[in-house]
Amino acid sequence: MVSWLSSASAYSAIPWAVIWPMVAYRYGRKIPLILVSVNVLIGNIIFYCSTSITELIFSQATLGMLVGSTLPITVMVMSEYTSPQYRGIFLTFKGATFYWGIWVSNVMGTFFHWRNISFLVFICGIYNLISCIFYYESPYWLATNGHFDESAKVHRWLKGTDENSEEELRKLILSQKEHLNTKTRFNEQVKYSRSIKILNIIRYEGFYKPLAYACLPMFLSNLSGKVACAVYAIDILKKITSSERMAYQGMLILDAVTVAGMYLGCALSKTVTRRKQLVSFSLTGVVFLYILSVYLYMIKYNVICENNIITLFLLMGYTISISCGPMILATSCSAELSPLRYRSYFVCCFGILCTIVFATTLKISPLVFRLCGTHGAFLFYAVSTSVFICLIYKYLPETKDRTIQEIQELITGVPQYTSVKIELVSLKKHENL
């Protein structure tokens, strides 16, 4: 049942991963956020009123709109609304807050009736809806649509008027003016069909390289096994400890450790570089996975006796390591690698790929544990994580404290307007914003 409920929302999110970038491209960031907030309220009303498994599955499928918006809209909003020096903190804090919600839901589901979860989610949804109504539109979206005065106004309200912010704004406006002029001249000379246009975009180095790099930490996060362990925690712990009481206690302990580890990772992200934090904690998590797999193999073949304390300790070490690394940095790295140009196509492809991997991981995880056993499943996750750590170490560029334009220059090797000065809108016009 857990498998059906989790995969219902995950697979129904795939078409929304295509729709939301298109809506955000056409209407900006504010309208999708409002629609998602309304969807959360409706989905939780259905969840509360459900009286059968079919209705529960339908309620989770309804919330696929939320799951499908998480990556595309988060990538856009968090990378566009925050300054480079604070972007990592906000992005990692968002990931930690997501798992805080999982922990609270598990606590409520363990000690109270499961319908009470919908009350808390409904209250949070109301707050989110009210917040979204008063949002300013993204300065990046305004610039890409030619609203340069308004873009400068919102950019200064969000990020201040210090030298770095003004330089970022100057590059943003200049690059978009140049892009819009080039696009206009090109469209007047050449008429391409949409399919040819999309093909040319996909072949562009500034598109496929960031997409490949952004997928690496997200795939690492899903294939590390932490997502499966969070969703199927009770079933996994029952098999390991052979105790239902210990399974529930272990689930809540691991959820608490996950949240604590993620907030620790948030603090570290302010001072430690992305690559260093991601690779080092992922390696530590892999070590715990291999040890845990060997330990469970030894129990299986009666080499040693099972000890619930040792098992929980190894799981806690694995949980802290993965929580401080890929669980919070996957979204952060993906948002920072998202290019400004062709952003809607980028997040569309990125959302589809990551949503499919997420949904498939949730769906096949019970099969992996059933066919391979817990010892074999942890070995499988250790091997898959090792592969992606090697790829990340070799290819993933450093993105900490860099603007979107600077990251794009780093990937393509083409400098963009580093020394050109243009006249920006007077600060006096925006003092009363």
* 226-265: pLDDT as tens digits: 877 777 777 777 777 767 777 777 888 888 888 888 888 8
Average pLDDT, the chain: 81
The Cα 144–Cα 138 span in angstroms is 10
Residue 376: CB atoms within 10 A of its CB come to 16
**pLDDT tens digits, residue range 341-396?**
778 788 888 888 888 888 888 888 888 888 888 889 899 999 999 999 999 999 99
The Cα 334–Cα 91 span in angstroms is 10
When pLDDT is cut at 50, 70 and 90, the band that residue 426 belongs to is low
Mean pLDDT is lowest, of 91-95, 134-138, 191-195, 214-218, for 191-195
Interval 17-43 mean pLDDT: 84
Task: Give backbone dihedrals phi and psi of 420, rounded to 5 degrees, phi first.
Answer: -80, 135
**Contact assessment for residue 216 and residue 354, using Cβ atoms and an 8 Å cutoff:** no
Segment of 170-174, 275-279, 309-313, 367-371 carrying the highest mean pLDDT: 275-279
Q: Given a cut of 90, is residue 284 above it in pLDDT?
A: yes
Helix axes 2-27, 343-395, angle to 10 degrees: 120
Q: For the chain, what is the domain count? A: 1
Q: Which two tokens stand for residue 242?
A: 């052979």
Q: Report yes or no on 390 lying in a domain.
A: yes
- Give the Cα-Cα-Cα angle 68, 361, 251 (nearest 5 degrees): 95
Q: Report yes or no on 43 lying in a domain.
A: yes
Non-local (6+) Cβ contacts of 165 within 8 A are: 83, 155, 156, 159
Q: Report yes or no on 199 lying in a domain.
A: no
Q: Report yes or no on 400 lying in a domain.
A: yes
pTM: 0.77
Q: What is the CATH number of the domain that holds 245?
A: 1.20.1250.20
Q: Which domain holds residue 274?
A: 2-135+215-412
Interval 301-312 mean pLDDT: 83
Please indicate whether residue 76 or residue 223 has the higher confidence score (pLDDT). 223
pLDDT of residue 186: 60
Q: Report yes or no on 232 lying in a domain.
A: yes
pLDDT of residue 420: 43
When pLDDT is cut at 50, 70 and 90, the band that residue 295 belongs to is very high
The Cα 173–Cα 87 span in angstroms is 20
pLDDT of residue 293: 92
pLDDT of residue 304: 86
For residue 105, how many C-alpha atoms fall within 13 Å in the half-sphere facing its CB?
Answer: 15
Task: Give backbone dihedrals phi and psi of 285, rounded to 5 degrees, phi first.
Answer: -65, -40
Q: Report yes or no on 143 lying in a domain.
A: no
> Smallest Cα–Cα separation from 123: which of 34, 44, 56?
44
Q: Report yes or no on 26 lying in a domain.
A: yes
Q: Given a cut of 90, is residue 334 above it in pLDDT?
A: no
Q: Report yes or no on 428 lying in a domain.
A: no
pLDDT of residue 11: 65
